[in-house]
Amino acid sequence: MAILVTGGAGYIGSHTCIELLLAGYEIIVLDNFSNSKPESLNRVKEISGKDFGFYEVDLLNRSGLEDVFANNTIEAVIHFAGLKAVGESLSIPLHYYHNNITGTLILCDVMKKYGVKNLVFSSSATVYGIPERVPISEDFPLSATNPYGRTKLMIEEILRDLYIADDSWSVALLRYFNPIGAHESGRIGEDPNGIPNNLMPFITQVAVGKRRELQVFGCDYPTVDGSGVRDYIHVVDLALGHLKALERVISSNGVDAFNLGTGTGYSVLEIVTVFEKIANVRIPYKIVKQRPGDVAVSYADPSKAKNELGWTAKRGIEEMCRDSWRWQEKNLNGYETSISRIEININYKE
């Protein structure tokens, strides 16, 4: 019996594949490489020392997906595949709705056809919209502020309806806070296309001289230093949360949402300070106006995942920064092997 991992070549998927393989699961990976590279899967094999089946299939390609189910005995699906850039979702909303929602509808329909009803879904803390207070617990009101967030919210509702119609389904909705960090080997990590939208890859690209300076979005939030506060979680802790959720969906039925976060918030400027210390690199930054749609403070109440899944995040902010840095420093151009075209100018502190 195998676990199908959709989007397994991506940032969180590749880290989860390693933990699944190390825990002894047989896995099948599916990806269309729309936001990832085959090299990440080579490195998953290298780190884990194990092989696995791979299908280059788009979830929108129903017959391709059916082949995967027809040719393998699948026990459960961990569903990472989706588009995730908030800004891009505002420019091309139909593409986001089609890829994320239609892709999930096709996946669930094919799962149903093959009698596979155990699903772990990548949701996001974005489903809390603008939270009234922190820490955020799973029973907070849900809303979305952009098409990407709406796809997550809609998929959560679709999966709840699926269970209402057929209570033999078992679904974990994992609401991730802010994943950063990388595998401690420095062989896999986050490899964004173009200019990074997220804080940590931007910082690491400034650190290696690919970008001149960080823009800090806002210094007038009601926070410790005026910059935005988030719950950063090490991607390996996040990956391990999927293994706990998998055990749960395999052993019981129902639909349940879980926050995967540490419960601690750090401001942008605090992250810059920790990163500079860990990497011994200066991060030049400029404070600019708030980014539209950003909330001041977001951090999780992770107690439900602790009590019901037996999961807690173990890795601290220094380890997160160290592992992000190691990945970037060893892979200046991400998974691209050629580094000759980028100018490398690491600004080590004296």
Site for ligand NAD, rule CB under 6 A: 7, 9-13, 31-36, 58-60, 80-84, 99, 103, 122, 124, 176, 179
Query: How is residue 26 written in tokens?
Result: 């047989």
Do the beta carbons of residue 203 and residue 272 sit within 8 Å?
yes
Nearer Cβ to ligand UFG (69/299): 299
Catalytic residue of the set 25, 55, 128, 148: 148
Query: How is residue 339 written in tokens?
Result: 């580094």
Distances (CA, A) of 96 to 92, 109, 142, 166, 207: 7, 19, 19, 27, 32
Do the beta carbons of residue 102 and residue 159 sit within 8 Å?
no
Do the beta carbons of residue 274 and residue 232 sit within 8 Å?
no
Active-site annotation holds for 148: yes
Q: How far apart are CA 207 and CA 328, in angstroms?
A: 9
CB of 228 to ligand NAD, least distance (A): 14
Nearer Cβ to ligand UFG (132/350): 132
Nearer Cβ to ligand NAD (69/80): 80
Task: Indicate which single residue of 98, 160, 291, 304 sits in contact with ligand UFG (rule: CB under 6 A).
Answer: 291
Positions 91 through 150 that interact with ligand UFG (CB under 6 A): 124-126
Contact partner at residue 135 from ligand NAD, ligand UFG, none, CB < 5 to 8 Å by partner kind: none
Positions 172 through 231 that interact with ligand UFG (CB under 6 A): 176-178, 197-199, 202, 214-217, 228, 230
Nearer Cβ to ligand UFG (36/126): 126
Q: Which residue is nearest to ligand NAD (CB)?
A: 10
Contact partner at residue 291 from ligand NAD, ligand UFG, none, CB < 5 to 8 Å by partner kind: ligand UFG
Sign of CA pseudo-dihedral 309, 167, 68, 151? negative
Do the beta carbons of residue 125 and residue 173 sit within 8 Å?
no
CB of 349 to ligand NAD, least distance (A): 28
CB of 298 to ligand UFG, least distance (A): 6
Task: State the burial class of residue 198 (Cβ atoms within 10 Å of its Cβ: 0-12, 13-18, 19+).
Answer: middle
Question: Cis peptide leading into 192, omega within 30 of 0?
Answer: no
- Active-site residues: which are they? 148
